[in-house]
Amino acid sequence: MQDVEAVLPASPLGGVPRYGGPVALLTSATMFSAGETYAQVLIGRPGGTVRMGANTQAPSPTPWTTHHTPHTATAVWLPDEEFLTRRGETFDGAGIPPYP
């Protein structure tokens, strides 16, 4: 099986009314998983997003690929995906900070 990196752009449906104004997002240290993905999607959003609160828990993409080293008690867990903002930023390990 060959690994293929794909970029899947999304665009709004034409002719449908939509809100384009600013959005306020409250974040906390207990925010994780889909909440973090949603927060990351809003970064750089046209119309503006204001993040308030605390750093999120730090994205940890799932599922993880587990590699066991033969004849040792060593295991390595590697993420099989990475979420990036429109600017190519990732927040793995640090969490998404509130609005600077």
Write the pLDDT tens digit of every residue in 41-64. 888 888 889 999 999 887 555 555
The tokens describing 45, both together, are 């959003």
Count CA within 13 A, CB hemisphere, residue 84: 11
Q: Is the pLDDT of residue 3 over 70?
A: no
Q: Is the pLDDT of residue 30 over 80?
A: yes
Mean per-residue pLDDT for 14-18?
Answer: 85
Q: Kindly tell me the sign of the dihedral angle through the C-alpha atoms of 11, 20, 91, 86.
A: positive
Q: Is the pLDDT of residue 78 over 90?
A: no
pLDDT at residue 51, as a whole number: 92
Check: CB of residue 36 under 8 Å from CB of residue 51.
no
pTM for the full model? 0.62
The SS3 call for residue 42 is: helix
